[in-house]
Amino acid sequence: MKNHVWRPLFVVLGVAALILAARMFYVPKDFGVHDQGYMYGFHRLGNEQDWKDQKPEYRFEPEYCSGCHPDKAEELSTSPHAIIPCEDCHGPAKGHPEDPPKLPIDRSREQCMRCHAYLPYAQSGRSNIRGIDPAEHNPGTECVICHDPHHSNAVETPHPQPPLP
């Protein structure tokens, strides 16, 4: 073969060798799941205890909130928002009720638009959520001025939506 074929081949082999050599220095020895017959896993054995000690940010337990807030849980149980975990709107309950003693409540319009801004994706199921056009529906006004998310007046059928472009 001519030199114009050998030179690029040697360059590629050299780069591959450099990557493998660098990998030996940068990948920790305990990375992977060696006892299961393959080399890589999703974590290092050396930091398993760190993950066990990590306090969860989200509780995802309805009983956690309803234990102290039975009145709000009862109000919400008859609302279409009943299927949404409290932390989706109120933020993570990490350390609550000790620190912070009260979770911040995001009453911003952007918070409601996360789910209620109309998206024309019928296959995603978003068309089943009552959506609005934020530019048309009371622009600049916070949703909670007219709507109480715990006593939602939303209906189960989708809101009339603009036609798809």
| Contact yes or no for 152/80 (Cβ under 8 A) | yes
- Outline where 36-150 has alpha helix (H): 48-53, 62-66, 70-77, 86-90, 109-116
Mean pLDDT in the chain?
79
Tokens 């807030």 sit on residue: 69
For residue range 23-42, list pLDDT tens digits in order. 888 887 777 766 665 566 66
Q: Which residues contact 48 (CB under 8 A, 6 or more apart)?
A: none
Q: Is the pLDDT of residue 122 over 80?
A: no
18-27, 84-93, 113-122: which range is least confident on average? 113-122
Distance of CA 162 to the CA centre of its chain: 28
For residue range 52-98, list pLDDT tens digits in order. 888 778 877 778 888 888 988 888 888 888 888 888 888 888 778 87
| Contact yes or no for 40/33 (Cβ under 8 A) | yes
